[in-house]
Amino acid sequence: MREALIEVLTWAAVFEHTLSTEEVHRYLSVNTDINEVKLALSSFPEIIFSDGMWHLKIAPPNSIILNQRRLNSKKHLNEVKGALAILCRSSAVEGVAITGSVAAGVNDDQGDVDILIIAKAGHLWRVRALAIHLQHQHQGGMRICPNMVLDQRNLELRPSKYAAREMAMMIPIKGRHSFKSLLDENPWWKEMLPNAKLRTSHEIEFEGGKVPWWWYIMRFPIAGALAERWESKRRIQELTQGSKSEETVYELTRCLGHEHAHRTRIENRIQELGKEV
């Protein structure tokens, strides 16, 4: 149990997060109940409980910065809700979930709101184009970061503890059934995190706003299929040529724009911090 607890809190420390007992239980690789987790957390001198949260002794949080990041998370999600509501309203979008730091409840002053989109079959690159348009043109949309867009026909992801925790962290805002399908298509996540389950959905209220004129053309069967073919061909070529990360995937049925090798950097930092512990 000790190693599993240290591993979770080391992962959190890399992001300068603290975790509640429930969160430690959710991200733990050992199948156990929350009462055992709480008892175990209190048993090891390397683990500290302060302000109602757990953290490593060698990684004390800055409470002022942490509280500001929590406020930022709520503020930034509120800023993008109009753009997200327009995206969610489209029938070509099967599912949308908040991921990353905002899903964790913290965000830097200039941080993005990472989202995972599941698109209707054959609509991935059109849906991504709509998300990018909202990012650049809709008020508050500049914080949206659609770095993962998946076609509903291809929901398999590369197995890793990092990816499992990202999936356990995500918050659906549309298409909860689609994210249940995502988890079903990746059963390894439950093997890695046996206590985790899909989190409660977050409701987005629609406050007006319109899609661009070209979106209506893209929704016609023939014109839309042609637009999908054109957009996918040019974007896949453009993004692949410009990519410098091995973590990116640009295909007809998936767009994983992890250009900064985020997962690799985090996994390396976890190993470094783990040695310090």
CATH number at residue 48: 1.10.10
- The count of domains in the chain is 2
Shared domain check, 129 and 7: no
What integer pLDDT is reported at residue 256 of this predicted model? 92
Q: Evaluate whether residue 189 is within a structural domain.
A: yes
Shared domain check, 97 and 45: no
- Residue 264 above 90 pLDDT? no
What integer pLDDT is reported at residue 206 of this predicted model? 66
Shared domain check, 114 and 44: no
Q: Evaluate whether residue 271 is within a structural domain.
A: no
Nearest CA to 121 among 235, 217, 224?
Answer: 224
Shared domain check, 129 and 29: no
Shared domain check, 122 and 26: no
Euclidean distance between CA atoms 70 and 118, whole angstroms: 27
Shared domain check, 176 and 86: yes
Shared domain check, 84 and 47: no
Helix (H) or strand (E) holding 239: helix 221-242
pLDDT tens across 45-80, in order? 999 999 899 999 998 988 899 999 999 999 999 999
Euclidean distance between CA atoms 160 and 165, whole angstroms: 9
What integer pLDDT is reported at residue 272 of this predicted model? 75
Shared domain check, 37 and 152: no
Q: Compute the residue count for the chain.
A: 277
**Total Cβ atoms within 10 A of residue 8:** 26
Q: Evaluate whether residue 73 is within a structural domain.
A: no
What does DSSP say about strands 113-119 and 144-151: parallel, antiparallel, or unpaired?
parallel
Q: Evaluate whether residue 45 is within a structural domain.
A: yes
Shared domain check, 141 and 7: no
Shared domain check, 84 and 45: no
Helix (H) or strand (E) holding 53: strand 53-56
What integer pLDDT is reported at residue 92 of this predicted model? 96
What integer pLDDT is reported at residue 243 of this predicted model? 83
Q: Evaluate whether residue 66 is within a structural domain.
A: no
Question: Bigger pLDDT: 153 or 147?
Answer: 153
Euclidean distance between CA atoms 57 and 185, whole angstroms: 38
pLDDT tens across 206-247, in order? 666 788 999 998 889 999 999 999 999 999 999 999 888 888
- Structural domain boundaries enclosing 11: 2-61
Shared domain check, 98 and 201: yes
Q: Evaluate whether residue 276 is within a structural domain.
A: no
- The pTM is what? 0.93
Helix (H) or strand (E) holding 251: strand 249-251
> In degrees rounded to 5, what are phi and psi of residue 144?
-65, 135
Q: Which of 13, 35, 61 is a domain's end point? A: 61
Shared domain check, 179 and 53: no
Can you tell me whether residue 137 is helix, strand or coil? helix
**Counting Cβ atoms within 10 Å, is residue 64 exposed (0-12), middle (13-18) or buried (19+)?**
exposed
Q: Taking residues 84-90, what's their average pLDDT? A: 93
Q: What percent of the chain has pLDDT over 90?
A: 77
Q: Evaluate whether residue 70 is within a structural domain.
A: no
